Amino acid sequence: MKDNFVVNIISLNEGLIKIDDVHVIRIKSKDYNLLIMKDYLPIIGMIEGSFDIETTAEKITYDEVIAYYMSNNNIFNIILKDGKHG
């Protein structure tokens, strides 16, 4: 069964990356840590740090990022200003 939690990553270097079947997003910013899962409340914010995206098949990590995000209706949109994909 699919989780129907989608992440859209937008950056100048990689364009649009869409990731389906996300289980959890871990954000580690300079001022806070946040764990976002399916059906999480709507939220908007800025990251100065790192974030991980975990799916059934893989874990994707972005380190040393500056990014802006919005999560609503099981869609997490993030716009990368700067960062390293690892």
The pLDDT tens digits of the residues spanning 5-21 come to 999 999 988 899 999 99
And the tokens for 51?
A: 């974030």
Q: What count of residues does the chain have?
A: 86
pLDDT digits (tens, 9 = 90+) for 26-35: 999 999 999 9
Cα–Cα nearest to 42, from 86, 17, 75 = 75
pTM: 0.88
pLDDT value at 57 more than 50: yes
* Protein fold of 6-85: ATP Synthase; domain 1 (2.60.15)
Q: Where are the domains of the chain?
A: 6-85
Mean pLDDT over all residues of the chain? Answer: 91
And the tokens for 25?
A: 């997003």
Cα 65 to Cα 2, 20, 21, 39, 69, distances in angstroms: 29, 22, 23, 25, 12
